[in-house]
């Protein structure tokens, strides 16, 4: 009886998985909800690092790399920005001429003074000459921040110590459409180059989903210790491998002992 109906039951059981869709689609969660192909709010007003108030639409006009940060962040935002700066330095197309970089603070208490300070640091970190207009550091009020982060699908949350937020860039076309996202806190120059090429052609593509990378405000800074441990481990492995090789070559002669 049961045996006869078993295939049917099994099919029924599996069909649950076909029908079910995720129930949780929370917009305010730290994480990125992709809105590829949609347009960012061009009329949202931000203040640039010189204190000038500008609409987002007036800033664009070229493809742009958009990154989010908050300026009191002590660890991961700095990693994101300095990695972005070093990638900009190694790219073949020129920031300013071929594309723009926008860094928007999502903390409405950040000021243009902090923005100017950050700008000075990271522009010099890029290690290549760039005009003043190539990389903008923007601050804004709550409504414009929420309009922009909402349009991008960038979810963040305030905590006691700062903000929890994802590490990701968005690449925009000249007319403000979202071309795709680049995830993570370090970026391959070639990856940015390709995304910008797609932005120039106005070709909307799929993003590469990578390991979740979050910036939790509670994280400790600095991983120099870890890096050195890794290096020591790698080098010792090499030394041991070389040592074993020399040992076997010089003294091993295993054939003599066992082969009678």
Partner 1 sequence: MDAKETKERIVGAPTLFAVWAALLGLTWLTVDLSGKGMAIFVLAAPFLIASAKAFLVVDYFMRLKYEPSIFRYIFLIVFGTIAVVSFLVYQDVAYRQ
Partner 2 sequence: MAADNTRGIREGYLASEPGKGFIASWLLTTDHKRIGILYLFSILSFFLVGVVFGLLMRLELISRGPTIMEAHTYNAFFTLHGVIMLFLFIIPVVPSIFGNFLLPIMIGARDVAFPRLNLLSWYFYMAGALLALTTLIIGPADTGWTFYAPYSLRTGSSVSLAVFSVFVLGISSILTGLNFVVTVHRLRAPGMTWFRLPLFVWSLYATAWIQIIATPILGVNLLLVMAERFFGIGVFDPAKGGDPILYQHLFWIYSHPAVYIMVLPAMGAVSEIVPVFARRVIFGYKAIAYSSIGIAAVGSLVWGHHMFVSGFSYTAAVYFSLFTFFVAIPSAIKVYNWVGTLYKGSIVMDTPFYFVLAFIFLFSIGGLSGLILGALSVNVHLHDTYFVVAHFHYIKFGGAGFGMLAALHYWFPKISGRMYNKRVANFALVFLFIGFNTLYFPMFILGYEGMPRRYFDYLPQYVLWQHVSIVGSWILGASIFTMIGNLLVAAFRGAAAPMNPWGARTLEWQVSSPPPKENFETIPEVTRGPYDFREGA
Partner 3 sequence: MSKPHDISHRDYTGAKLGMWLFLFTEFFLFFGPVLLYAVFRFRYPHAFIDASLKLDAGVGALNTVILLTSSLCMALAITAMQRGRKGLTLFLLALTVTLGSFFLVNKYFEWGAKFAHGLYPGGEALAGNADGTAIFYGLYFFTTGLHGLHVLAGMAIIIGAALMVHEGRINSTDFVKLENTGLYWHLVDVVWIFLFPVFYLVR
Q: Which residues bind partner 3 (CB under 8 A)?
A: 23-24, 157
Q: List interacting residues with partner 2 (CB under 8 A).
A: 14, 17-18, 20-26, 28-31, 33, 76, 155, 157, 164, 184, 186, 188-191, 193-194, 197-198, 203, 205-206, 208-216, 219-220, 223, 225-227, 229-231, 233-238, 240-241, 244-245, 248, 252-256, 258-259
Task: Give the integer Cα–Cα distance in Å for 61 and 134.
Answer: 12
Cβ proximity of 151 and 38 under 8 Å: yes
For the CB of residue 107, give the shortest distance to partner 1 in the complex, in Å: 22
| Number of residues this chain uses to bind partner 1 (CB under 8 A) | 3
In sequence order, the 6+-apart residues with CB closer than 8 A to the CB of 18 are: none
3-state secondary structure of 126: coil
* Minimum gap (Å) between residue 167 Cβ and partner 1: 16
Q: Which helix or strand (DSSP H or E) is residue 13 part of?
A: helix 2-19
SS3 content of the chain, % helix, strand, coil (to 5): 40, 20, 40
CA distance 128 to 104: 22
Which of residues 23 and 224 has its CB atom nearest to partner 3 in the complex? Answer: 23
CB of 180 to partner 2, least distance (A): 8
Contact status: 132 vs partner 1 (CB under 8 A): no
Instruction: State yes or no: residue 220 binds partner 1 (CB under 8 A).
Output: yes
Q: Spell out a b/e string for 66-94, using b for 16 or more CB atoms within 10 Å of the CB, else e.
A: bbbbbbebebbbbbbbbbbbbbbeebeee
Q: Considering only 68-76, 93-101, 189-197, 218-226, which stretch makes contact with partner 1 by CB under 8 A?
A: 218-226
Question: Would you say 1 or 16 has its CB closer to partner 2?
Answer: 16
Helix H or strand E encompassing 17 = helix 2-19
Q: How far apart are CA 61 and CA 39, in angstroms?
A: 14
Nearest approach, Cβ of 215 to partner 3 (angstroms)?
A: 16
Question: In sequence order, what are the residues at sequence separation of 6 or more whose Cβ sits closer than 8 angstroms to the Cβ of residue 43?
Answer: 55, 56, 57
Which of the stretches 23-31, 129-137, 212-220, 231-239 binds partner 1 when contact is defined by CB under 8 A? 212-220
Find which of partner 2, partner 3, partner 1, none residue 161 binds, CB within 5 to 8 Å per kind: none
Interacting residue with partner 1 among 218, 228, 236, 237 (CB under 8 A) = 218
Near partner 1 by CB under 8 A: residue from 27, 38, 131, 219: 219
CB-count burial class (<10 Å; 0-12, 13-18, 19+) for 227: exposed
Q: Which does 237 bind (CB under 5 to 8 A by kind): partner 1, partner 3, partner 2, none?
A: partner 2
Instruction: Considering only residues 47 through 76, tell me which ones interact with partner 1, judged by CB under 8 A.
Output: none
- Whether 180 and 195 have beta carbons less than 8 Å apart is answered as yes
């Amino acid at each position: 009886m049961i045996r006869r109906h078993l295939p049917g039951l099994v099919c029924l059981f599996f069909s649950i998985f076909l029908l079910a869709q995720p129930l949780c689609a929370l917009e305010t969660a730290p994480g990125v909800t992709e809105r590829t192909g949609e347009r960012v709010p061009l009329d949202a007003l931000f203040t640039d690092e010189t204190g000038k108030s500008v609409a987002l639409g007036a800033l664009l006009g070229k493809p742009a790399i958009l990154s989010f940060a908050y300026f009191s962040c002590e660890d991961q935002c700095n990693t994101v920005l300095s990695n972005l700066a070093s990638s900009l330095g190694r790219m073949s197309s020129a920031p300013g001429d071929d594309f723009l970089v926008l860094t928007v603070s999502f903390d409405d208490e950040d000021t243009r003074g902090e923005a100017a300070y950050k700008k000075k640091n990271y522009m010099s970190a890029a290690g290549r000459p760039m005009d003043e207009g190539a990389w903008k550091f923007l601050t804004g009020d709550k409504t414009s921040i929420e309009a922009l982060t909402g349009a991008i699908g960038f979810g963040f949350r305030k905590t006691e110590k700062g903000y929890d937020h994802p590490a990701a860039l968005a690449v925009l076309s000249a007319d403000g459409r979202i071309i795709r996202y680049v995830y993570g806190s370090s970026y391959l120059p070639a990856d940015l180059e390709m995304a910008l090429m797609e932005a120039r052609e106005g070709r909307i593509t799929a993003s590469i989903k990578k390991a979740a990378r979050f910036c939790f405000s509670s994280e400790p800074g600095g991983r120099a210790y870890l890096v050195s441990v890794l290096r020591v481990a790698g080098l010792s492995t090499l030394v041991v491998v070389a040592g074993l090789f020399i040992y076997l070559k010089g003294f091993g002669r295993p054939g003599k002992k066992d082969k009678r």
